[in-house]
Amino acid sequence: MSLFRALKKTCSVIKKSLFSRQTTEAVRMETTKVNMSRVPLVNGDINPAILKAHKPRVMSKSGHSNVRIDKVDGIYLLYLQDLWTTVIDMKWRYKLTLFAATFVMTWFLFGVIYYAIAFLHGDLEINKFTPKHEPCVKNVDSLTGAFLFSLESQTTIGYGFRFITEECPHAIFLLVAQLVITTLVEIFITGTFLAKIARPKKRAETIKFSHCAVITKHNGELCLVIRVANMRKSLLIQCQLSGKLLQTYETKEGERILLNQASVKFNVDSSSESPFLILPLTFYHILDESSPLRDLTPQNLKEKDFELVVLLNATVESTSAVCQSRTSYIPEEIHWGYEFVPVVSLSPNGKYVADFSQFEKIRRSTDSTFYSMDSEKQKLEEKYRQEDQRERELRTMLLQQSNV
């Protein structure tokens, strides 16, 4: 009897808590409904300034990583082992400084060595010269003269006033060594300059992603939609767009993965796997049972904590270099029940025109079920979700009571 009374009391408590939770959910749904109806629009464009503060992104909107590598033993040695990549990744101000410093330092270093040779050979003691004294380098009687001789030799200027003689074989050997070493250094520095200039990174910056994503219906399917455009006339071939969903995930063993990665597949209205990116294209991700975003609803979208990183890989037609452009979307930048405004039109003279003033603009979908919080489907889904939650809690409570 005591066990029966305890179970009856427990069920009463659970019912009260469920009633309170349903009331809270109803209030939250009503609030969501009001907020959806009052989203500020400027010609159909949602202002990015209204996006609320969020946790730091893994990937910025411009595609730059927000990850810092810290506390790595021997990090500088690792950078020196891959000196080519290190120099290419340098910022331009550091690279220009390194470029100028390399020349000045080699000129000065070999100039000091020439000066030391002249000093040891006695070429600096002008008053003690014998008529038969032959200097190692003509007209080098100071450090400045030695520096100028080093500069003229390395740059092959050859004014003819300072020149090396046959008197000192070690000076001749030094001249040969200087030309060989500095030529290799110049090749390396010049090569890194060309490689940095020719990197497809700048080409990737001319690929434009829409600032926000929308969830709408496409061909009868509920889809997450983004828009991509190529800002140059030169084509990008073999385009491949993919996504990675980054969110916190807890395994069955209780391990908490801070940034779990799940693949997000995007399609386009083309049967080809490599879309023809000559005009702005709209890419779709179907929110079906296999999608990692399948549990998104208008009610919980803004409460979710995830980041969708979108990557576009393509080959530059003019250089055959592979480039990658990236961006990311957080829940505050995904709008339920909206669609993109068309940007492609046909001009009177028969040319296709892409109006980029409409590129970022979105408008409400014509399907009212997206922003109608009282639709029958959503009510049934919420009802089934609450019943399932209630059954799980009752099962857990009864199990605990039976164990007692």
pLDDT value for 106? 93
**Beta-bridge mates of residue 243:** 264, 310
Q: Look up residue 40 and give its DSSP letter.
A: -
pLDDT value for 175? 92
Positive or negative, the CA dihedral 358, 277, 307, 53 is negative
Q: What pLDDT, in 10s, does the model give residues 371-390?
A: 554 455 556 666 666 777 77
Q: Summarize the confidence of residues 7-28 as an average pLDDT.
A: 46
CA–CA distance, 104 with 107 (Å, rounded to integer) = 5
Backbone phi, psi, residue 340, to 5°: -75, 145
* CA–CA distances in Å: residue 360 to residues 40, 170, 343: 14, 70, 10
Indicate the average pLDDT of the chain: 79
Asked if 240 contacts 312 with a C-beta cutoff of 8 angstroms, the reply is yes
Give the Cβ contact number of residue 164 at 10 Å: 18
Total count of residues recorded for the chain: 404
pTM of the full predicted structure? 0.64
pLDDT value for 113? 94
Asked if 321 contacts 200 with a C-beta cutoff of 8 angstroms, the reply is yes
Q: Summarize the confidence of residues 321-327 as an average pLDDT.
A: 88
Mapped onto helix, strand or coil, the DSSP state of residue 330 is coil
CA–CA distance, 112 with 123 (Å, rounded to integer) = 14
Q: Look up residue 374 and give its DSSP letter.
A: T
Is the pLDDT at 72 greater than 50? The verdict is yes
- Position 253, amino acid: E
Q: Compare 127 and 59 and report the one with higher pLDDT.
A: 59
Chain-centroid distance, C-alpha 59:
5
Q: What pLDDT, in 10s, does the model give residues 243-279?
A: 999 988 888 787 888 888 899 999 887 555 667 788 8
- Structure tokens belonging to residue 241: 């767009």
